[in-house]
Chains A and B, each alone.
Chain A
């Protein structure tokens, strides 16, 4: 039987460690892709295209797969979204393009994400150079942070002929695509390759460079005609409970990063793990732990299933992975013996009236403390903002909203004329995601081009940064699903 026809039967105990960390979805075979592409109705003014924050011309790229023009398909995707390979894997498609598919109700939506991945994989394997650096216009732009927003902005500007330098404090570019998305959703090679394609466009990639340390703000602003700030968010905040500093208590993002950067066999994990939080990052930590080999993984969340910020499909995935959930449970202390974590003391909660965010407030039930025995605690309760960095930018006049950098929605320009920003660091409202960050990069690239050259962007470039602005998913901080803060690639609220 052909490889791809094998039914997917995930039985962890029948698989090796490396196998368990292969991508959850196998790539589509050519026949699968063509059959699925042929199911697409090729809607006119298709809703999937509107729902995609980067407005990829989805019916066109799918049609091109069906006709065997996969090269053209990949170009259609990349013209709208240079992070097409990452987005194909990590986008919450059920909430975006596939959720908007007209076949969703009567039939089943087209597998847009997997088709996009098919075209992106093809582009990768066939090593086609879709774009080149534009003729140099002598102007310089600095990008701080080489995540999806920064890479997109850098790539688009380089295509226009700007000399762009990316400053990235990590060893590898790619941001959360490289370090923060679980490896069985997006292998690290995919993210690094995507970043490499941006470098191939003539962008200078200065990794291991921390702005403010290796290069001073002052010099950066002096030497460049514009600066794009895409610094993302930071580590997981403190829970403010006793025992939090114990060795067996780890930051969820750090835990994920280990699986992306270290040989899997070298990763330290507990046998009985409590994961605190119920966002997408928390789910990632729990499922990683299971796939590493933890026998008991319990997610601790102070509200109920209905309030949990993780996507429903992620919740379903975790259940399938054998993760258990302890809802209406608040951790109060990490217990230890001889300095080693051996339990998480929790208190049971009840739900009271909704607070101003509309979610029901959880209140502790008196004398309901209990202990969940565990040898490791993973915190995944959101991400801190890079407050000192943003404060430093404040000296140049940029403004903030709730600690996030404030920008103009149409241009992503900050209060400072030369400074633009995008990605999770501006996501004061709505869900932070790879695809939103990518669109931020595009919007800023357009604005920077227009501001510095005094001309509108050339016809046919930077597809769909302006012509769908009525769409509420587009603007800064305005997400399609405002009620559900995204915790996955960065979380915002606590």
Chain B
């Protein structure tokens, strides 16, 4: 069986699965119960400044009868006294010495405040710190959380204060509510952070009650933006993680990433790890189903690694990063077309209407005489010469492997956009572009 343990820049964990700093890691009871269930680590719910919470704290989005594809919250950092949290951290660490206990910290933007809490917390024996520069609601209005994370200079400054006193690894947690995620990441690196974690939650309003006109979640008739998480945010998280992981300065720093944002299954974990996450953090899925989901995370990842002969997580962490590119470097000569397997097709004809109404009108409905029925239903048939290879049909098809995108060689030159405009800058004029296409037999239907 594969070895799932990780060494996260000094923080050791029996597996890469950590509870994210959030309600599930609010107390010693919860964290120890999670460890018993199999979680490798837990980032304690943020401790720091005194707060008061409100009701209702959570709003969710369901999709077609499935509950919670997205969850937002307006809950603040821990509302339990600091002393209680520190006592329980020490207890959890004592009882589970081989698990990772990480303290998430957030206080006001004062050097003394940060350094004092770091020193106090370190005495509990925690394995490291996560600096909460991401909380987008409640705390940010008080100059904390995202208010720090959105200004790279603040991120750098506070991280430096912490690094002056911390003897354990320090993870800087980034907010996605910025224009360019690379800037705060570089700020953390500049301050010598031990690691980066992302993404924190995304600014969001979950909905409006169309009967009462109230905002979701509804706090006594009012509502406001809260932090959005859950399966729906996964693609955003993957993009931001890959952006940091591909950054030249980040690579030079050689520090790990703890990835999170919408992770629910072991497949999600693998994707985050392939894009450079050494550990992965989970919150919403646990809030939905409880700690027990970790059993499948461990089992699924382990089986996947065994099947591929990966002995350690380091064998595949970041393996997809070399494939992260950008539009200008894509091969303009790579061509694919949709092929419909009529043996599998159930004739819902969703591919036809999607293509015809919203794509490139290259699927026809034809009488194929494939069955013995007198009045046979029409079959969708791709006009390959007109297919632009957008893959919409294959996405809407409800049957597995029925519409495949097949690579074909059309003889188009294998050149990237960046190469093309370097070699032939004139194509930036429409008439020259048309000329170039004609010369290369590129016909746009």
CA distance A44 to B346 in the complex (A): 12
The stretch among A4-12, A98-106, A135-143, A313-321 that forms the contact with chain B is: A98-106
A42 contacts partner chain B, Cβ-Cβ < 8 Å:
yes
Given A38-B65, A102-B348, A103-B346, CB of A47 within 8 Å of CB of B353: no
Given A44-B353, A471-B375, A472-B374, CB of A106 within 8 Å of CB of B64: no
A470 contacts partner chain B, Cβ-Cβ < 8 Å:
yes
- Residue of A31, A41, A471 most packed against chain B (CB within 10 A): A41
CA distance A66 to B353 in the complex (A): 20
Interface set, chain A 67-103, CB cutoff 8 A to B: 102-103
Interface set, chain A 293-318, CB cutoff 8 A to B: none
Interface set, chain B 208-249, CB cutoff 8 A to A: none
B272 contacts partner chain A, Cβ-Cβ < 8 Å:
no
B64 pairs with A66, CB closer than 8 A: yes
A44 pairs with B375, CB closer than 8 A: no
A44 pairs with B352, CB closer than 8 A: yes
B325 contacts partner chain A, Cβ-Cβ < 8 Å:
no
Q: Mark B328-352, 1 if CB is under 8 A from A, else 0.
A: 0000000000000000001111101
Which chain B residues border A43 with CB–CB below 8 Å? 347-350
Which chain B residues border A31 with CB–CB below 8 Å? 65
CA distance A102 to B375 in the complex (A): 16
Closest CB in chain B relative to A272 CB, distance in Å: 46
Beta-carbon nearest neighbor of B64 in chain A:
A38
Closest CB in chain B relative to A102 CB, distance in Å: 4
Closest CB in chain A relative to B373 CB, distance in Å: 11
Beta-carbon nearest neighbor of B345 in chain A:
A102
Which chain B residues border A42 with CB–CB below 8 Å? 350
Q: Mark A41-75, 1 if CB is under 8 A from B, else 0.
A: 11111110010000000000000001000000000
- Residue of A44, A45, A47, A50 most packed against chain B (CB within 10 A): A44
B347 pairs with A102, CB closer than 8 A: yes
B399 contacts partner chain A, Cβ-Cβ < 8 Å:
yes
Given A66-B64, A471-B375, A472-B374, CB of A41 within 8 Å of CB of B347: no
B377 contacts partner chain A, Cβ-Cβ < 8 Å:
yes
Closest CB in chain B relative to A59 CB, distance in Å: 10
A41 pairs with B64, CB closer than 8 A: no
Interface set, chain B 364-420, CB cutoff 8 A to A: 365, 374-375, 377-378, 398-399
B346 pairs with A102, CB closer than 8 A: yes
- Residue of B348, B350, B353 most packed against chain A (CB within 10 A): B348
CA distance A34 to B66 in the complex (A): 11
CA distance A472 to B399 in the complex (A): 29
Beta-carbon nearest neighbor of B347 in chain A:
A102
Which chain A residues border B377 with CB–CB below 8 Å? 47, 50
CA distance A47 to B65 in the complex (A): 25
CA distance A47 to B353 in the complex (A): 15
CA distance A42 to B353 in the complex (A): 11
A472 pairs with B398, CB closer than 8 A: no
Which chain A residues border B347 with CB–CB below 8 Å? 43, 47, 102
B399 pairs with A44, CB closer than 8 A: no
Q: Is the interface of B mostly helix, strand, loop or mixed?
A: loop
Beta-carbon nearest neighbor of B377 in chain A:
A47
Interface size on A, residues (CB 8 A): 20
Closest CB in chain A relative to B394 CB, distance in Å: 15
Which chain A residues border B398 with CB–CB below 8 Å? 41
Beta-carbon nearest neighbor of B346 in chain A:
A102
CA distance A472 to B374 in the complex (A): 10
Which chain B residues border A105 with CB–CB below 8 Å? 346
A35 contacts partner chain B, Cβ-Cβ < 8 Å:
yes
- Residue of A42, A46, A102, A470 most packed against chain B (CB within 10 A): A102
Which chain B residues border A41 with CB–CB below 8 Å? 348, 350, 398
Beta-carbon nearest neighbor of B344 in chain A:
A106
B65 pairs with A472, CB closer than 8 A: no
Interface set, chain A 368-409, CB cutoff 8 A to B: none
Which chain A residues border B399 with CB–CB below 8 Å? 106
B348 pairs with A44, CB closer than 8 A: yes
CA distance A307 to B118 in the complex (A): 85
Beta-carbon nearest neighbor of A50 in chain B:
B377
Which chain A residues border B64 with CB–CB below 8 Å? 38, 66
Beta-carbon nearest neighbor of A34 in chain B:
B65
Closest CB in chain A relative to B366 CB, distance in Å: 13
B353 pairs with A106, CB closer than 8 A: no
CA distance A47 to B398 in the complex (A): 16
A45 pairs with B349, CB closer than 8 A: yes
Closest CB in chain B relative to A70 CB, distance in Å: 15
Given A34-B65, A44-B352, CB of A472 within 8 Å of CB of B375: yes
Closest CB in chain B relative to A78 CB, distance in Å: 25
Which chain A residues border B65 with CB–CB below 8 Å? 31, 34-35, 38
Which chain B residues border A102 with CB–CB below 8 Å? 346-348
Closest CB in chain B relative to A479 CB, distance in Å: 13
Interface set, chain A 469-483, CB cutoff 8 A to B: 470-472
Which chain A residues border B374 with CB–CB below 8 Å? 472
Which chain A residues border B348 with CB–CB below 8 Å? 41, 43-44, 46, 102
CA distance A237 to B175 in the complex (A): 82
CA distance A464 to B64 in the complex (A): 30
Which chain A residues border B352 with CB–CB below 8 Å? 44
Which chain B residues border A106 with CB–CB below 8 Å? 346, 399
Beta-carbon nearest neighbor of B365 in chain A:
A45
CA distance A472 to B373 in the complex (A): 12
CA distance A31 to B347 in the complex (A): 28
- Residue of B346, B350, B353, B374 most packed against chain A (CB within 10 A): B346
Which chain A residues border B378 with CB–CB below 8 Å? 45
CA distance A50 to B374 in the complex (A): 14
Closest CB in chain B relative to A187 CB, distance in Å: 29
Which chain B residues border A50 with CB–CB below 8 Å? 377
Beta-carbon nearest neighbor of A47 in chain B:
B377
Which chain A residues border B346 with CB–CB below 8 Å? 102-103, 105-106
Beta-carbon nearest neighbor of A43 in chain B:
B348
Which chain B residues border A45 with CB–CB below 8 Å? 349, 365, 378
CA distance A102 to B349 in the complex (A): 10
CA distance A127 to B398 in the complex (A): 38
Closest CB in chain A relative to B65 CB, distance in Å: 4
Closest CB in chain A relative to B353 CB, distance in Å: 4
Q: Mark A182-225, 1 if CB is under 8 A from B, else 0.
A: 00000000000000000000000000000000000000000000
CA distance A202 to B365 in the complex (A): 44
Closest CB in chain A relative to B307 CB, distance in Å: 27
CA distance A362 to B64 in the complex (A): 54
Closest CB in chain B relative to A137 CB, distance in Å: 37
Closest CB in chain A relative to B137 CB, distance in Å: 30
- Residue of B349, B352, B353 most packed against chain A (CB within 10 A): B349
Closest CB in chain B relative to A469 CB, distance in Å: 12
Closest CB in chain B relative to A235 CB, distance in Å: 36
Beta-carbon nearest neighbor of B65 in chain A:
A35
Closest CB in chain A relative to B222 CB, distance in Å: 25
Closest CB in chain B relative to A327 CB, distance in Å: 30
CA distance A103 to B350 in the complex (A): 13
- Residue of B64, B365, B374 most packed against chain A (CB within 10 A): B64
CA distance A492 to B330 in the complex (A): 69
Which chain B residues border A472 with CB–CB below 8 Å? 374-375
CA distance A77 to B262 in the complex (A): 40
Q: Mark A452-471, 1 if CB is under 8 A from B, else 0.
A: 00000000000000000011
CA distance A105 to B346 in the complex (A): 9
Which chain B residues border A44 with CB–CB below 8 Å? 348-350, 352-353
CA distance A38 to B349 in the complex (A): 17
Partner of B375, one of A46, A103, A470: A470
CA distance A41 to B352 in the complex (A): 13
- Known pairs A41-B348, A102-B348; list 6 more (Cβ under 8 Å): A34-B65, A43-B347, A43-B348, A45-B349, A45-B378, A105-B346
Ordered by A's residue number, 13 sampled pairs between the chains whose C-beta atoms are within 8 Å are A41-B398, A43-B347, A43-B348, A43-B349, A44-B348, A44-B349, A44-B350, A44-B353, A47-B347, A50-B377, A102-B347, A105-B346, A471-B375
7 closest A-B pairs (Cβ-Cβ)?
Answer: A44-B353, A38-B64, A102-B346, A44-B349, A43-B348, A35-B65, A41-B348
